[in-house]
Amino acid sequence: MKIGIPRALTYHNYYPFWYGFFNKLGIEVVLSDKTTKQIVSKGSSKVVPETCLPVKIYVGHVLNLLDKGIDKIYCPSIQSIDNKIYNCSKIRGLPDLIRNVVKRDFTLIEPTLDKSDDANNFYIYLQESVKPFGITDKKLIKEASKVGWACINNYNLMRQSGVEHNKALSNAIKGRVVLDINEQEYPIHVAVVSHGYNLYDDHSTMKALQKLEKLEVKAHTAEELSIDQMKNGIKLLDTELYWANEHEMTGAAGHYLNRANIDGVISITAFGCGPDSLMIDRITRKARVLKKPLLNLTIDEHTGEAGFVTRLEAFTDMLFRKKRASILQSLNEQIPEPQVIQKEDNDRVSR
């Protein structure tokens, strides 16, 4: 039994859970390859140009799995993650989109998860996820869900403790918690605010986090924060939670904008994303009020690496100069003013 999971969009939120859950039930999880230019262009060719980059990438990953011979593709419709906290229409309608644009012979496994609907609870969603494999034993499904929760909880624990994303992911799915934390000290700290499906797709955001590391800049992300910290961050931006993935944008931005140890904030959003354009507007206004440097980067399939890197370098260079200037200023404030001594012969000397 094999299930194909496209390495895109919701994969970046739920993969440790899905891996633990399916694996416990004896279903082998097959991932699509990492995003390449070819995956992006194949996906883009199937949808209208205005579609946001993450959805184009998702379509490309479904095609990649089909090319590998996988005929059961997991594509849940995640409507809401809490009462009246909805995903954007593109994530909610993902199975409909795939069914309409990928005209090939395969089984789309498309359970719905809607926390705003009392009739649709989490276990019904899980039962629908494995029904195509003939698995209907509710006790077994519940047991498997515990393994899924253990995997995702381990992942969250490691990320909140500062473990790097890929290391946390690979240990979490092996059922391990390894707190291998980078203790290095950095002169500059920035917050990078983006959705996981942008930030951890090396092709989309061109390894932005690794590039910052090379520039000796410590990047902080939403995964280091607890849900309560992100909820408070949303309040600090004088707004209310509406979108399901708002925690990782406005929540993280609100938190980091108010931190003195964060020298600047970088937001990375996809061109054509409605929810993000609203969120970025609020983040930009608050950054202006708090006088916190902010760099907004927008990505699409035509974004060139050279321009992207130049903007990152220019921003971090400005942060280094700003920090140097503020250190010099505080040092100058500590040096006492030269005193003027009146000598007997009325000569003035200063020391």
Name, in order, each residue with C-beta under 8 angstroms of 186's C-beta and a sequence gap of 6 or more: 216, 217, 218
Among 25, 270, 280, 294, binds ligand SF4 (CB under 6 A): 270
**Please, are residues 154 and 176 in contact by the beta-carbon 8 Å criterion?**
yes
Cβ atoms 206, 309 nearer than 8 A: yes
Residue 16 makes contact with ligand SF4 by CB under 6 A: no
Kindly tell me the sign of the dihedral angle through the C-alpha atoms of 286, 289, 294, 299: positive
Site residues for ligand SF4, window 286-345 (CB under 6 A)? none
Residues numbered 80-119 forming contacts with ligand SF4, rule: CB under 6 A? 88, 90-91
What is the rounded distance in angstroms from the CA atom of residue 105 to the CA atom of residue 100? 12
Choice between 273 and 319, CB closer to ligand SF4: 273
Provide the minimum distance between the beta carbon of 58 and ligand SF4 in the complex, in angstroms, as a whole number.
8
Nearest 5°: the CA angle 273, 153, 193 is 30
Q: Which range touches ligand SF4 (CB under 6 A), out of 19-27, 70-78, 273-281, 305-313?
A: 273-281
52 neighbors 201 (Cβ within 8 angstroms): no
Q: How far is the CB of 48 from ligand SF4 (least distance, A)?
A: 13
Q: Can you tell me which of 151, 273, 279, 319 binds ligand SF4, judged by CB under 6 A? A: 273
Least CB distance to ligand SF4 at residue 275 (A): 5
Contact call for residues 42 and 70 (beta carbons, < 8 A)? no
In angstroms, what is the minimal distance from the CB of 276 to ligand SF4? 5
Of residues 188 and 253, the one with the C-beta less far from ligand SF4: 253
How far apart are CB 267 and ligand SF4 at their closest, in Å? 13
- Separation of CA 278 from chain center: 17
d(CA 73, CA 6): 8
Among 247, 275, 279, 316, the residue binding ligand SF4 under the rule CB under 6 A is 275
Give the Cβ contact number of residue 330 at 10 Å. Answer: 9
Phi, psi of 193 (to 5 degrees): -105, 115
Task: Count the residues of the shown chain that bind ligand SF4, applying the rule CB under 6 A.
Answer: 12
Candidates 27, 40, 55, 262; binder of ligand SF4 (CB under 6 A) is 55
Tokens representing residue 68 in the block:
């590998």
Residue nearest to ligand SF4 (CB): 273
Question: CA-to-CA distance for 342 and 350, rounded, in angstroms?
Answer: 9
Q: Which stretch binds ligand SF4 (CB under 6 A): 15-23, 37-45, 266-274, 307-315?
A: 266-274
Residue 151 or 252: the one with the smaller Cβ distance to ligand SF4 is 252
State whether residue 239 is helix, strand or coil: coil
Q: What is the DSSP letter of 302?
A: T
Q: By the criterion CB under 6 A, which residues form the site for ligand SF4? A: 52, 54-55, 88, 90-91, 195, 270, 273-276
